[in-house]
Chains A and B, each alone.
Chain A
Amino acid sequence: MVSMPRSRSFKFLMELREKNQARIKELRLMYEVLKKSPLALIGFILVLGFIVIGIIGPYITPYDPIKIDFSNMIKERLQPPSWKHWFGTDEYGRDIFSRVLAGARISLMVSIVVMAIAIPIGIILGLLAGYYGGVVDEIVMRITDIFLSFPALILAIAFSATLGASIWSAMIALALVWWPGYVRVVRAQTLSVRESLFVEAAKAIGVKTSRILFRHILPNVITPLLVLVTLDFGSVILTSAALSFIGLGAQPPTPEWGRLVADGRKWFPTRWWYTFFPGLAIFLTVLGWNLLGDGLRDMLDPKFRRRLEFRKGDTNE
């Protein structure tokens, strides 16, 4: 009696494993890549650190990142790094380390919101354009091309300036600029999957189009999209920091990293820490995403995969 539920749960686990075999293989391969490539591993650690700080950052700051302590302001302002203030203090006596920690959440939020808007738009338009072709494709791709005929930052500046300087308008502006890249990738991938046998078969037995699109084609589109999204997380963080740096995007007293660099520049070079540490935070975070994305790209490169699988076969025998 006791063993019954256990064996059932075991069976369930085995079934789960069987169903997700491809995904498990994918994860294994990812693990292999991380093991083989120290750069990708560093990227993974940086990204993980960024996400963790983004979530818990505001709760672990040693000082209040936003409130100004007017009673101690004169004494505490613009102090160089010390054990008390690892990254020094700003002109209001606030602890820059605390502000950088709190800033991680803003960058994390901006990048997630931008992706959450841009990716679904990209997927839907890309699937439709690639699957239907013809007029739909023509219209979607012409609009996409128009957006892509501007450098991303410039277009983001134009949108952001129109919508008014705030972190929300910066996010909307970035999302508006970022979706066309995903349309391109999804469409290209859809085109190559569209003709494959399983799609033809699904069509022949009368599966609904929406089901073909989302259950049959989409899973095949996700993998190449994953690399692009990983790399783009870095670019979005970089671009949103640039927007804040030039005065669009986050407004004071928000501890946005790009904003911090801009504020610190006024005190440069004598109070170098004010501008140096927030910039370093941006650099390391973006580098993390790029190292990870580059590793993922290797993983999806068939040549590299074959090499890894060969090696594995080698050690198993």
Chain B
Amino acid sequence: MSDILLEVKDLKVNFYTYAGVVKAVDGVSFSVRKGEFFSIVGETGCGKSVTARAITKLIKPPGRIVGGKVLFEGKNLLKLPEKELKKIRGKEIAYIYQDPSSALDPLYTVGYQIAETVAVHNPLIKIKNAFTKAVEILKEVAIPDPVKRSTNYPHELSGGMKQRVVIGIAMVNKPKLIIADEPTTALDVTIQAQILDLLKELKEKYNTTIMMITHNLGVVAQVSDRVMVMYAGKVVEIAPVEELFEKPLHPYTQGLLAAVPNPLKKVEEIKAIPGFVPDMINVPKGCRFRPRCKFATEKCLQQPSLIEVEKDHWVACWKYWKR
């Protein structure tokens, strides 16, 4: 399929701690299509951020990628030498980090940090000359008085402004894929909406693809085309956004939607999912949601794989297997 930009196959990432091995990402597969807004949702610690960082091998010890493939335009990134990956990071695949106050180096002006991101990927451009580019991109991300702002240090800007700068850094090399890891979590609610609008607007303008990681279903509903739900290091469901909110199939997704005011439906009673997120060192056998699932059967002691229940709607649950 030519419209697939990124394909992740059976990705496995382990963290080796003193208490034992944490299988943070355990056999995750999905694909992102060109030009779409793809979201990954899940609770804290479900492996969504680790998945995002593993795509360009940004996993540091004690973590290690132990298996799988990441095909980006057909190339397996996990097999590429570090030198080649450095050319891809920030150029072909750009990241937006969660907390803009800690993502920017406090000792350099924001203009410099944008300019160096340009220069490092274009050997012909010197950092000094890239400053015009920095001012242009600041204008793109709707920062007022970009010429003056480019000479500001991060601490002189507000949180929302800083996140705009981070988005600017991500956009400046016109990447094919932007991975936004909780881009709005650290921001005020009012600013969140602005940042999401900006992301969407820039995505259309540059005709790029966005993969967003979030734990906020409201944010997912606002911008996504397709959504992937993760639980305890596994994919449980992948579906177009309307499908997912209207017809969630996996018991976990259903619980998740019941636990928050559904943004696409009338507000009903809010129910918490019983039980706790499993201990990631001693994970439950079979389906990881089994101990908390009211539909659990004998069958669930085996891990179900993803099946396409309806067109484009995938779920990993025995309930939907036709026996």
Q: What is the interface of chain A, defined by CB distance below 8 A to chain B? A: 307, 310-311, 313-314
Which residues in A have their C-beta under 8 angstroms from that of B19? 310, 313-314
- B17 contact set on A, CB distance < 8 A: 310
- Closest Cβ of chain B to A301, distance in Å, is 15
- Nearest neighbor of A313 in chain B, beta-carbon distance: B19
B275 at the interface (CB under 8 A from A): no
In the complex, whether B123 has a CB less than 8 A from a CB of chain A is no
The reply on B18 being an interface residue by CB < 8 A is: yes
Is the CB of B81 closer than 8 A to any CB of chain A? no
B18 → chain A closest CB, angstroms = 3
Chain B residues within 8 Å of chain A by Cβ, number: 4
Interface centre among B17, B19, B20 (most CB of A within 10 A): B19
**Binary interface profile of B, 4-25, with partner A (CB < 8 Å = 1, else 0)?**
0000000000000111100000
Q: How many Å from the CB of A303 to the closest CB on chain B? A: 12
Measured CB to CB, the nearest residue on chain A to B20 is A314
What distance in Å separates the Cβ of A93 from its nearest Cβ neighbour in chain B? Answer: 60
Complex interface residues of chain B between 1 and 55 (CB less than 8 A to chain A):
17-20
Nearest Cβ on chain A to B85's Cβ, whole angstroms = 29
A interface footprint on B59-85 (CB within 8 Å = 1, 0 otherwise): 000000000000000000000000000
Residue of A nearest to B282 (CB): A317
Q: How far is the CA of A310 from the CA of B16 in the complex (A)?
A: 12
Q: Please give, as numbers and ranges, the residues of chain A lying within 8 Å of B20 by CB-CB distance.
A: 314
Chain B residues with Cβ below 8 Å from A311 are 18
A-B contact count (CB 8 A): 10
A310: chain B residues at CB < 8 Å are: 17-19
7 contacts between A and B (CB under 8 A): A307-B18, A310-B18, A310-B19, A311-B18, A314-B18, A314-B19, A314-B20
Q: How far is the CA of A310 from the CA of B20 in the complex (A)?
A: 9
User: Which B residue sits closest to A311, measured CB to CB?
Assistant: B18
Of all A-B residue pairs in the complex, the 9 with the closest CB atoms, nearest first, are A310-B18, A310-B19, A311-B18, A307-B18, A314-B18, A314-B19, A313-B19, A310-B17, A314-B20
User: Nearest-CB distance from A228 to chain B (Å)?
Assistant: 29
Within the complex, the shortest CB–CB distance from A315 to chain B, in Å, comes to 10
Q: In the complex, A314→B17 CA distance in Å?
A: 10
Closest B residue by C-beta to A306: B18
- By a CB distance below 8 angstroms, the chain A residues around B18 are 307, 310-311, 313-314
Please give 8 more A-B residue pairs, beta carbons under 8 A apart, in addition to A310-B17, A310-B19.
A307-B18, A310-B18, A311-B18, A313-B18, A313-B19, A314-B18, A314-B19, A314-B20
Q: Min CB distance, B22 to chain A, in Å?
A: 12
CA–CA, A311 and B19, complex, Å: 7
Complex: A134 Cα to B227 Cα, angstroms: 56
Closest to B19 in A: A310
Complex Cα–Cα for A44 and B17 (A): 30
Compute how far the CA of A67 lies from the CA of B18 in the bound complex, rounded to whole angstroms. 60
Instruction: Specify which chain B residues have a CB less than 8 angstroms from the CB of A313 in the assembled complex.
Output: 18-19
| Bound Cα distance A313, B20 (Å) | 10
A311 to B20 CA separation, bound complex (whole angstroms):
9
Q: Which residues of B contact A307 (CB under 8 A)?
A: 18
Complex Cα distance, B20 from A160, in Å, reads: 58
CA distance A99 to B72 in the complex (A): 77
A99 to B18, CA, bound (A): 50
Nearest-neighbor residue (CB-CB) of B17 within chain A: A310
The CA-CA distance from A311 to B18 in the complex, in Å, is 6
- Complex Cα spacing A314 to B20, Å: 8
**Smallest beta-carbon distance B159→chain A, Å:** 25
Write the nearest CB–CB distance from B108 to chain A, whole angstroms: 28
- Alpha-carbon gap, A313 to B18, bound state (A): 9
Residue in chain B with minimal CB distance to A308: B18
The distance in angstroms between the C-alpha atoms of A126 and B17, with both chains bound, is 40
In the complex the two chains form, what is the Cα distance from A183 to B323 in whole Å?
A: 75
Docked CA distance A307–B17 (Å): 9
A313-B279 Cα distance, complex, nearest whole Å: 15
Shortest beta-carbon distance from A308 to chain B in Å: 9
What's the Cα separation between A302 and B18 when bound, in Å? 15
Closest to A307 in B: B18
CB distance from A33 to the nearest CB of B (A): 15
The distance from the CB of A264 to the nearest CB of chain B, in whole angstroms, is 50
Query: Nearest Cβ distance between residue B15 and chain A, in whole angstroms?
Result: 12
- Name the distance in Å between B76's Cβ and chain A's nearest Cβ: 35
Q: How far is the CB of B238 from chain A (nearest CB, A)?
A: 35
Residues of B close to A314: CB separation below 8 A: 18-20
